[in-house]
Amino acid sequence: MPHMTVTNGRQTVMIPFEDGEMTAVSLQRVLHFLTPCHGHGTCGRCKINVILPDGTRSAQLACMYPAREMTIEMPVIRLKVD
């Protein structure tokens, strides 16, 4: 199963995803990750910093961004089960 990498510089978590899934859905299975607008892309609270395998960096809304093999930089990583 493909996975994305989430890091804050100290912690790294590998998160699996399914084809066609939005990034926020994948993140919510493993992390405390809020989407107050329920995936409509209107609140901006799910903004993530994406680094693709080719080194390209961009800010994206996780609720609107398709899951893929990438690295996501987040300031805080809170696992659902510690």
Predicted confidence (pLDDT) per residue in 19-33, tens digit:
999 999 999 999 999
Residue type, 7: T
1 pLDDT band, cuts 50/70/90, is: confident
Flag whether the pTM goes above 0.75: yes
Q: To which H or E segment does residue 20 belong?
A: none
Q: What tens digit of pLDDT does each residue of 11-21 get? A: 999 999 999 99
